[in-house]
Structure 1
Amino acid sequence: MHTLVGWHVEMEFQEEGDRTRAAAMVRLSDGTEFRAHGTANRHPSDPDQLRVGEEIAGARALMDLASQLLQKAHTEIDEVSGRTSHPIR
């Protein structure tokens, strides 16, 4: 038997001069929500490429979400197993 599960992910970006900020949110199938942020700063001598700033800031926000998801999973493993699990970093 296969079970289809989905997560809802949202990403928003804000540009302010040479800085791009990303806000990410994931909603899991159990209703849990995690939020994270990431930033990217363009060097003044670099060309103005908004997409690149979004990619970097977005990737950093998603990396933070990934870390939070790993922590949640390991906490749940620990609660069920009665031992301490160790996330790979």
Structure 2
Amino acid sequence: MTTTREWKVDLVLTEDDGTTRACAKLATDDGTITGYGTAHCSPQDVDVPRIGDELAAARAMRSVARQLMREADSDLEAVGAGPGGPPGPGYGWPYTTP
């Protein structure tokens, strides 16, 4: 049986005097995870707002991803599949770096 879930990410960017701030909110079935990120334009750099947006947004989403991974780790441990639990049947997917 196939199950489909849809989680939405709301990302708000604000820029003020060379500083870009991002707030990312992931709405899941169980609640909301919020992450924040900032980017600062150095005075000697060319001001390209898009770069600040990209950096701040990526940092906010990375914060959300870290929090979501901590929740997944906690849930795995609760069913005995975490690092502190007994060897199990191998729940979840292994984490690999690209």
TM-score, normalized by length of structure 1?
0.88
Equivalence for 1:77:
76
Matched residue of 2:52: which SS?
Answer: helix
For residue 82 of structure 1, report the CA deviation from its aligned partner: 6.6
Partner of 1:22: 22
Q: What's the offset of the Cα at 1:83?
A: 4.8
Q: For this pair of structures, how many residues does the alignment match?
A: 87
Q: Report which of the two has the higher share of helix.
A: 1
> Percent sequence identity over matched residues?
33
What is the aligned partner in structure 2 of residue 5 from structure 1? 5
User: 2: distance between equivalents of 1:61 and 1:54?
Assistant: 11
- Structure 1 residues 48 and 71, CA gap change in structure 2 (3 angstroms): same
Cα drift, residue 2 of structure 1? 1.3
Cα distance change on mapping 1:78 and 1:17 into 2, 3 Å: same
SS in 2 for 1:75: helix
Q: CA separation in 2, counterparts of 1:80 and 1:31?
A: 18
Q: Normalized against structure 2, the TM-score is what?
A: 0.80
Cα drift, residue 4 of structure 1: 1.0
Q: 1:44 to 1:2 in 2, by over 3 A?
A: same
Q: Distance in 2 between matches of 1:77 and 1:9?
A: 24
Using the TM superposition, name which of 74-83 and 31-40 deviates more: 74-83
Between the aligned partners of 1:77 and 1:71, the Cα distance in structure 2 is 10
Who is 1:43 aligned against? 42
